[in-house]
Amino acid sequence: MNPIVRGLSVSMLVAASAACVETAPQPDAAAGAPPQDQAVLGEIAAAINAGQLHSTIQTLVGFGTRHTLSETQSDSRGIGAARRWAQSRFAAISQDCGGCVSIVTPSQSVTGARIPTPTEVMDVVAIQKGVSDPNRVIILTAHIDSRVTDVMNATADAPGADDNGSGVALVLEAARVLSRYKFPATIVYGVLSGEEQGLYGGKVLAQYAQDQGWRVETDLNDDIVGSARGQSGAGDNSRIRLFSESTRETETPKETRQRRLEGGELDGPSRSVARSIKRLAERWIPNWRVDLIYRVDRFGRGSDHEAFNALGYPAVCFRESAEDYRHQHQDVRIENGVSYGDTIDHVDFDYLARVTATNAIAAAALAWAPPPPDGLKVSGAVTPDTTLSWQALAGPQAADLAGYRVYWRDTKESAWSHSRWVGAVAEAKLPDVVIDDWAFGVASVSKDGFESPVEYPGPLGAFWRPVEVEVSK
């Protein structure tokens, strides 16, 4: 859309919006809303290349082991060689896009239950800086380290094709494709270490994000996403599981009390991101389902997204649809005719390509969309109407803003069922919608129709909480 047409449509929207909130729900088209379809997302999904994913995993497996405690000096074996290779891939991607990606390697010296002597845990991180709102950051992460049956064995071959060569291949391929585009927000691609020894690489990057003062809108973490055949033999290559926390780990006791009274158990910002991803991916990837799992992760298991959740950042984790535990965390061997070990022959590259496309279009759509609004509130107790109000986005955050869309749904439902475009306003009244009976949310919408995640009102749903002043030690 050219700037003149955009200018016209925005003024029409502002005029239309005041009237719109007074009328019954109506199709967006009638209210002059931005387009709801962004064909560029289909273009991104189609650009993901299964051959590239195969070649990355083959190379990673070729390093023998990528155990966090393995050697770092060799150029052909161990975690050091693997990290340097990932860095060289990011460098090549940057060269192809005229230097659009910069590389940092945040690290910490770590000791712990699974790291007996101080060991450097280093992440390899590529940063594609946003053009107008660079401090807002969407992060893609996957751990590169691998293991066998004995988690302390740093020398045996640990191919880690699926856990987590698949995630690393996904992050590199997303970077290759998304680096061809420019986004208002920053996209960060993180290849992490130390996951199998205690989720250390996630902590290193989450801490780095906090130290940089990044406004982290979300971390999309991928860990074991390359195979869809479970141990029972059943498999479904048309679905991916997406795990998300229900409410923030850093929720305060006061917020917990309010949630107990008013609800919102299903509406933390991580969940809101997960719902956005489901909507986008199922629209643009044929025969594909994103199954939201209302849990932080599988039972007794975890990954690097938890380090982001621990600091209060929205973060979600993708997991393949069905797992075969004989191919994870196992010495490579044949036992009673059964093959054990995480070898490349179990990876389904067409499936992994769809998971990669899911991540790539989600990161792109979130980075193209404006941020969710700040200071969102809902009111209307003891009245027949509900009113949502928020701080209108301003400055660089509003560069591409067209306005806002209000959502509501039955409190028992998972997905938003009702919505209304309300235009470039900071308050919207829903006449005859009683606050007690519905869950509410608001999304910011760009002129091209890219939508932020739907934010739930109050501190429970806020993507960015007011900065709390830390008492100096």
Q: Which is nearer to Zn ion, 301 or 418 (CB)?
A: 301
Q: Which of 223, 323, 400, 455 binds Zn ion (CB under 5 A)?
A: 223
Q: Which of 328, 268, 272, 269 is nearest to 298 (CA)?
A: 328
Place of tokens 């849990």: 295
Q: Which is nearer to Zn ion, 242 or 365 (CB)?
A: 242
Compute how many residues bind Zn ion; rule: CB under 5 A.
3
Q: Which is nearer to Zn ion, 15 or 152 (CB)?
A: 152
Minimum CB–partner distance for residue 224 and Zn ion (Å):
6
What letter represents residue 16's amino acid? A
Q: How many helices (H) and strands (E) does the chain have?
A: 10, 18
Instruction: Write the binding mask 156 to 195 for Zn ion: x where contact by CB under 5 A, - elsewhere.
Output: -------xx-------------------------------
Tokens of 71: 């050697």
Tokens of 180: 């061809």
Buried b (16+ CB within 10 A) or exposed e, 259-291: beeeebebbbbbbbbbbbbbbbbebbbeebebe
Minimum CB–partner distance for residue 400 and Zn ion (Å):
36
Q: Which is nearer to Zn ion, 164 or 272 (CB)?
A: 164
Cα–Cα dist 101/90, whole Å: 8
Restricting to residues 242-281, which ones interact with Zn ion according to CB under 5 A? none
Minimum CB–partner distance for residue 151 and Zn ion (Å):
12
Restricting to residues 295-324, which ones interact with Zn ion according to CB under 5 A? none
Minimum CB–partner distance for residue 160 and Zn ion (Å):
8
Question: Which strands make up the sheet holding 427-430, listed edge to edge?
Answer: 374-379, 386-391, 427-430
Consecutive H or E run containing 175: helix 166-178
Angle 349-368/39-47 helices, nearest 10 degrees?
140
Minimum CB–partner distance for residue 167 and Zn ion (Å):
7
Q: Which is nearer to Zn ion, 163 or 455 (CB)?
A: 163
Minimum CB–partner distance for residue 106 and Zn ion (Å):
20
Minimum CB–partner distance for residue 199 and Zn ion (Å):
10
Cα–Cα dist 237/204, whole Å: 33
Q: Which of 109, 118, 309 is nearest to 209 (CA)?
A: 309
Q: Which is nearer to Zn ion, 243 or 440 (CB)?
A: 243
Name the segment binding Zn ion (CB under 5 A); options: 84-92, 155-163, 355-363, 427-435. Answer: 155-163
Q: Which is nearer to Zn ion, 163 or 306 (CB)?
A: 163
Name the segment binding Zn ion (CB under 5 A); options: 8-16, 218-226, 262-270, 349-357. Answer: 218-226
Interface residue list for Zn ion (CB under 5 A): 163-164, 223
